[in-house]
Amino acid sequence: MKRRSFLNNTIKGAAMMAIPTIVPSSVFGKNAPSNKLNIGQIGVGRIARDHDLPGTWQHEAARIMAVCDLDRNRLEDGKKLVDGYYAKKTGNAKYMDTRMYDDYREMLLNKDIDAVIISTPDHWHSQPAIEAALAGKDVYLQKPTSLTIAEGRLLADIVKQKGTILQVGTQQRSSPQFRIAAELVRNGRIGRLHTVRIGLPGDPAGPEAPEMPIPKGLNYDMWLGSTPYVPYTEIGVHPAKGYDRPGWLRREQFGAGMITGWGQHHFDSAAWGMDTEYTGPISVESVAEFPRSGLWDVHGDFMVKAEYANGINMYTSGGYTNGIRYEGTEGWIFVSRGNYVASSSDPVSAAKSAKALDASDPKILTSVIGENEIHLYKSDEQHGNWLDCIKSRKQPISPAEIGHRACSVCLVSHIAMKLPRKLYWDPAVERFKNDDEANSMLSRFQRSPYGTHNIKLK
C-alpha cells in the first residue's frame, strides 16, 4: 500500500485501531494535544531500563517505537522490555513490535521518530545528541552533557540553532525539595548566601584486568567511539549478562568519575540556588587521590573549591553528606534526594542521605514564597516535562545551555584535580586565563571515524 493511502486510511479509520499505527507527530502538528510522540531509545542498558524508559512510557503522550544498542543481547532485551510493557498495558500481545537498530544513525533517518532518548555511556552523549538535533529530532540526554568543554559548547550552540527541545537528565530539578530549597535561598530566607558545600563521593580503585575475547554481538570498535582503542575486558565495559553498575563508569577514557557522574546533578541544583545557571566559577582549585594501579583510574577522595564572581565559595567533597548545603548570614538549608534512587545500583545508599530537606531553623522551611517574590520553574517529572515541551515548544526545565554550564563546573573541577595550582576560569569565553596547559585539556583527541569533529554541520 502506498504511504499516502496508508495515512488517509489510518486517519479515517482511527476508531478501529487495535494496534498502534506509527505516524510522526508532524503529520498532525506537534501541538495537537491528543497526538502521541514517537520515541526512539538509544542505549538500552541499566539507566534506560531502570529510569528513562519507565520515566517516559508512563506518560500517555509518549510511544516508545524503537530501540538501539551496540550490544545485540541488550538490543533484543530492550525490544522484549518495551513490547512486554505495552502488551501488559493493553492486554494485546501484538500491540507493539518495537523496531531494533544497531546503529543510532540509521534510527535518526527514520522520519516517523519525533524524538530520541540518549542513555549511552558518557563518551557517547554529545555526538548522537548533536546528530539528532541536526536530523530534526528532539532529545532527552542523560548527563553528563559532554566529556569536554569544547563538545559541550558545540552541542549547546547546535541545539539553539536548530530550535531543538533538549532536556538534560538532571532530574533533581523535578524533585520538589530542590526547587523549594533554591527558592528559599534565592528569596533571602537564610540571609546573604556566602558558602555552598556539596557532598559527592569518589570511586574505589579496581583490580588489574586481563584482555578478553570481544563478546559475539558487541560492536566494540563503535562502543569505544572517539576514544583510543584499548583491549576489551568485561569489567571495563559492562556486564555481559545482567545490568549491574558498569565498569566504564570508573575509567577516565569514558568519563571522569563521580565529579561528572553525579557532579552535574548537584552542581546544576546548586546553581539554581546560587543564581549562576548561565555562568560559572572564576577560579577553581583541588586536591584529589587517583589509583596508582588497576583498571579503574577515576578519582577517589577529593576536595574542590570554586569561587564565583558574586562572592559565593563552593566546596565539593566526599567528606560532606551527599547533597547540597547552602550557608547564609542568617542560617543554612540542606537538600538531598532523600530516599529517591534512579537505579537499583546507585552508588550511595539512600539511608546516608535520607533527610531530603533540613534547615538551621524549621521555620525557614515553612516560609511562604510571596506572589511578588522569585518563583522558579516547576516540573512534576523530568521526562513528562520534556514531552510537554516538545508539544508546546517551550524550553524544558533542564535545557542544553544550563546543562552545559553545570557540566562545565564538573569538567573544570576535574582539570583542577590534575594540575597542582589555582586555576582562573573565564566563564564568558570558557577558557582559563594565562594557562596553556589547562586550556589544552578543554578538548580531547578524537579517534576517527567517530567524534564530533567528523559531524557534517550543514
SS3 398: coil
C-beta of residue 346 within 8 angstroms of C-beta of residue 262: no
The pLDDT value given to residue 419? 97
25: pLDDT strictly greater than 90: no
392 grid coordinates:
508546546
* pLDDT value for 339: 64
Instruction: Identify the helix (H) or strand (E) that includes residue 127.
Output: helix 126-134
CA distance 84 to 92: 10
Residue 16: CB atoms within 10 A of its CB come to 8
Radius of gyration of the chain from Cα atoms? 22
d(CA 84, CA 93): 8
- pLDDT score recorded for residue 347: 52
Per-residue pLDDT for 49 more than 80? yes
What are 79-133's pLDDT values in tens digits?
999 999 999 999 999 999 999 999 999 999 999 999 999 999 999 999 999 999 9
Identify the bridge partners of residue 42 per DSSP, sorted by sequence position: 68, 118
Buried b (16+ CB within 10 A) or exposed e, 375-394: ebeebebbbbbbbbbbbeee
Percent of the chain whose predicted confidence (pLDDT) is above 90: 87
Kindly list the structural domains of the chain, giving each domain's residue range(s) and its CATH number in brackets, ordered by start: 29-172 (3.40.50.720), 176-205+251-379+401-454 (3.30.360.10)
pLDDT confidence of residue 16: 34
Cα distance between residue 142 and residue 278, in whole Å = 19
Please name the residues in contact with 346: beta carbons below 8 A apart, sequence gap of 6 or more: none
3-state secondary structure 69-102: CCEHHHHHHHHHHHHHHHHHHHCCCCCCCCEEEC
Phi, psi of 69 (to 5 degrees): -160, 150
Q: CA–CA separation, 367 vs 369, rounded Å?
A: 7
State residue 457's pLDDT score.
Answer: 85
pLDDT above 70 coverage of the chain, percent: 89
Q: pLDDT digits over 287-328, tens only?
A: 999 999 999 999 999 999 999 999 999 999 999 999 999 999
CB 60 within 8 A of CB 34: no
Q: How crowded is the C-beta side of 267, counted as CA atoms within 13 Å? A: 33
- Please indicate whether residue 17 or residue 116 has the higher confidence score (pLDDT): 116
Q: How many CA atoms lie within 13 A of 453 on its CB side?
A: 12
User: Average pLDDT in the 383-406 region?
Assistant: 98
Which three three-digit cell numbers place residue 212? 578478553
* pTM confidence score: 0.90
d(CA 252, CA 386): 30
Higher pLDDT pick, 34 / 206: 206
